[in-house]
Amino acid sequence: MRSSQLYKILGLLDGIQLNALERFLASPYFNPRRDVSSLVHYYKTEIKKARPRLSKEEVFSHLFPGENFKDQKLRLLLSKVLIQVKRFLFFEYAEENEFQISNSLAQAYFKIGHEELFLKTIEKSKKKLDKQVWRNTEYFRSQLDLEQQYYDYISEQARSKENNLQDLTDTLDVYYFANKLKQACLILGHQAVYKKEYDNSALEHALSFIESKPELIESTPAIGIYYYCYLAMSRQDSEDMFYKFRALLEESKEKFKEEEVRVIYLLAINYCIKRLNSGEAKYVKESFQLYKAGIDGGYLMAYNTLSQFTYKNVVALGLGLKEFEWVESFIFKYKDVLDSKHKESIFTFNLAKLKQAQKKYSEAMSLLIQFNPEDLLLTLAAKTNLLKMYYELEEFDSLESLLQSMSTFLNRKKVLGYHKKHYKNIIKFTKKMIKLPPYATKERIILKKEIEQAEMRSEKEWFLEQLGK
């Protein structure tokens, strides 16, 4: 049983859900078979034990005492149980969508021919939909479903009434173009990371249509936000589009669900990072402000947890802007919402970075010297920060020892990929800087050019700064 799809699904249900499943199966309307209920009850009882008896033979022996094991019989039962579990999950989560329930009820009234209740349900759903705060693509999908249901009713049972084809067409347009733009932005975001090609040729038609109706851009955030986002991400001279995108995000974010606002913030942040990587330093502040707004609003928190990458990025950006007081408050404030597995190591590393940026080297070094996280890249980043402080303090004996330990560490690890080249460059250029004679201007220029051409990402600026002293 352990390898079955049923076992995997049941393993994802918590105690409350398993209790609800048992109540669901106790209803003869949903489940007329006692053996289905018995199997779920047996699973629920056994799974609590240190050594649950859940092999196929053990399950069969419990459910059919005295019978010889029959694999086919158990397979059929597991199949029946799986069907009921799927139905349970449908009912469990369908109830969360009040509009879906109302929509299904209207369809039921339509099928049994109760015109009055059908029309009342449609009207009630429209009023409820208009009152809700969301104006995302789900809203327009719900609106489209209502218009489609009403059109089906007129077509079949009330042909003398005026039809709603124009409303149906307009709603379909908004729903389609909003979705099209949203997907276009997600594609650009994905391409920036994975370099995958997509056929999005229909987008040009969508853009032409939307640009012919500027009122849609201004009055419909589900279109406007993704329209400006797409133009910002796809065009070289796109700064004006980015600021319009950001302004509309701040103005309209309450009209989208939290998970979608999170995606929109990340699209905006990724745009800023792209501009930063092109050497446009002013986007440090833009990125920082977006992160602050996203975190303050709770949008960049998933299940009340802040990712270590967001935490580190915010600290790095804040330090770049010398917002030391704010960064210190942030480091301590959000420590407890980091993933518990990495909490202490991420906290210590970032606190050390703050102390280093404040030139409080003794405090930073005391945090990092005993620092030994499980994450290999975090270990190397910490060693790199120590390296910088040793160099700036001219503690060359400690620096030589650290460089040797870093080389040994890199040679021993086989899973670092392209990161290995990055850190080997750091070691190589640090050794070259140590060996430079005090007034060797020519050698400094040659080394500077070599560093400028090297693949070294974030540390390049520090090396050039040291050579410029």
Per-residue pLDDT of 55-102, as tens digits, reads 999 999 999 999 999 999 999 999 999 999 999 999 988 878 888 889
pLDDT at 61: 94
CA separation (Å) from 66 to 46, 47, 63, 162, 241?
A: 20, 23, 10, 69, 74
Mean pLDDT value of segment 418-446 = 91
Residues 326-334: contacts with CB under 8 Å, at least 24 apart: 327/354, 328/354, 334/295, 334/306
Model confidence at 130, pLDDT cuts 50, 70, 90, reads: very high
pLDDT at 251: 96
Q: What are phi and psi of 440, to 5 degrees?
A: -85, 75
pTM of the model: 0.83
* pLDDT exceeds cutoff 80 at 1: no
pLDDT at 94: 84
pLDDT at 372: 84
Cα gap 174→168, rounded to integer Å = 10
* pLDDT exceeds cutoff 90 at 206: yes
The letter for the amino acid at 226 is: Y
Look up residue 13 and give its two tokens: 């249900």
From the list 257, 306, 264, the residue with the least C-alpha distance to 96 is 257
pLDDT at 278: 84
* pLDDT exceeds cutoff 90 at 195: no
For 221, residues 6+ apart whose C-beta sits below 8 A from its C-beta are: 135, 248, 251, 252, 255, 256
> Lowest mean pLDDT: which of 120-134, 164-178, 402-416, 422-436?
402-416
pLDDT at 4: 83
3-class state of residue 338 by DSSP: strand
pLDDT tens-digit series, residues 137-177 = 999 999 999 999 999 999 988 777 888 999 999 999 999 99
